[in-house]
Amino acid sequence: MTTQTEPQTKLDLSWIRAQFPSLDQTANGYPAAFLDGPGGTQVPRRVIDAISGYLEASNANTGGAYATSRRTDGMIAEARVAMGDFLNCDADEIVFGPNMTALTFAMSRAIGRQMGPGNEIVLTHLDHDANISPWRALEETGATVRFADIHEADCTLDMSDLARKITGHTRLVAAGYASNAVGTINNVQEIVRQAHNAGALAYIDAVHYAPHGPIDVRALDCDFLVCSTYKFFGPHMGVLYGKREHLKRLRPYKVRANTDAIPNRWEWGTLNHECIAGITACVEYIADLGRHADSTARSRRSAILAAYGAIQKHERSLTERLVRGLKNLPGVKIYGITDADRFAQRCPTLALRIAGHTPLELATRLGERGIFTWDGNYYALNLTERLDVEKHGGFLRIGAVHYNTADEVDRVVAALAK
């Protein structure tokens, strides 16, 4: 029995699902099961309202001497504070951009200005190509790129190989927080520590991790961390955290008229204001979820942490149910961690293959039954090549988030059994 002082960390799924209008859709007469979260999540009503509300009442460019422009400036400042609470940093360390990929290319060009022959960059085979190609582009400067390998059996990062690849010549280590293909969560704190021991920068791609677990850039001590709000119940936008000293020290490619103050010197042209309004609403949604799960959570940051406590508990049970169900099916091979004792090291994102069927065929059949999954490489190209599945259609990816239900998990298992 719970008392008033005990945090109620259980997720209230009916409260949650009632907030997402799109979850009520049907496809081919079946209720839609959105197991495509890793490609992008659905949004709560308040995000839709914030976007349309901005366009209705505050639509203007920034820096003007009149009401709607001032409201726009205020709205953007609020969104920076909200993302600061989300990542545990200050508002002036938050940079908005169109998506993670564009922000990473911008940052790699700026960092690349100081690179040349003899400098090394360490990447991993687990990463999405958006945390690989922007850094490989710096090979043009004469810098060398090295790759840390994985343990093939469970698709975890080989930390000893990473330690071997990081040397006194390493200037940057770019790694993912979690894999968008096989769900592995990396030991980011240790990756950052190894990078810093060698005098290198640590650039973390948290795009896949953000809907599944709390992020604390101060505790991680990373130099940069990027995420995309459309993966955690917000609009299609990217967000970059940069340590203040780096945002000031590095030289962006920018127009002269743009201010040289941080973070704006990293934001070019007119941003997507309506979506930025949606970002505050999506952070507020997560915080409200936390307050709903734990009425003792006071500050927005503590409410966000409470939300992820409840989210992780629910997602863990979905993962257990899904893996158990899939293991019973003949011909199924799951890529990644399948040992329930180690589920704290993975997200509820499963990559699998079924003998005799291509991933595209499986995703199509599931789609016909209203179950939305993905097939292919999802840009985790280095991984599908490393595991030699790229030429066979990659994997089928089943990706749950907190609004998914046990019933949806059972439906996907039953459909695959057929």
Ligand X SMILES: Cc1ncc(COP(=O)(O)O)c(C=O)c1O
The residues binding ligand X (CB under 6 A) are 99-101, 128, 130-131, 176, 180, 205, 207-208, 228, 238
For 58, half-sphere exposure in the C-beta direction (CA atoms, 13 angstrom radius) is 21
Dihedral sign (CA 56, 57, 58, 60): positive
CB 191 to ligand X: min, Å? 15
Dihedral sign (CA 367, 402, 157, 162): positive
Among residues 100 and 303, whose Cβ is nearest to ligand X?
A: 100
CB 182 to ligand X: min, Å? 11
Q: What is the CA radius of gyration of the chain?
A: 21
Helix (H) or strand (E) holding 415: helix 406-417
CA-angle at 97, arms to 92 and 100, nearest 5°: 110
Among residues 128 and 353, whose Cβ is nearest to ligand X?
A: 128
Among residues 232 and 310, whose Cβ is nearest to ligand X?
A: 232
Among residues 207 and 415, whose Cβ is nearest to ligand X?
A: 207
Closest Cα to residue 236, out of 62, 85, 48, 372?
Answer: 48
Residue 343 and residue 319 in contact, taking contact as beta carbons nearer than 8 Å: yes
CB 128 to ligand X: min, Å? 3
CB 103 to ligand X: min, Å? 8
Question: CA-CA distances (angstroms) from residue 413 to 13, 131, 319?
Answer: 21, 32, 12
CB 99 to ligand X: min, Å? 3
CB 63 to ligand X: min, Å? 27
Among residues 11 and 207, whose Cβ is nearest to ligand X?
A: 207
Among residues 176 and 367, whose Cβ is nearest to ligand X?
A: 176
For residue 215 the two structure tokens come to 């992020």
CB 328 to ligand X: min, Å? 29
Among residues 176 and 242, whose Cβ is nearest to ligand X?
A: 176
- Following CA atoms 359, 365, 370, 371 in sequence, which dihedral angle do they give, to the nearest 10 degrees? -30
Report the C-alpha gap between 288 and 311 in whole angstroms: 13
User: Quick one: residue 273, left, alpha or beta (phi over 0 = left, psi -120 to 50 = alpha)?
Assistant: alpha
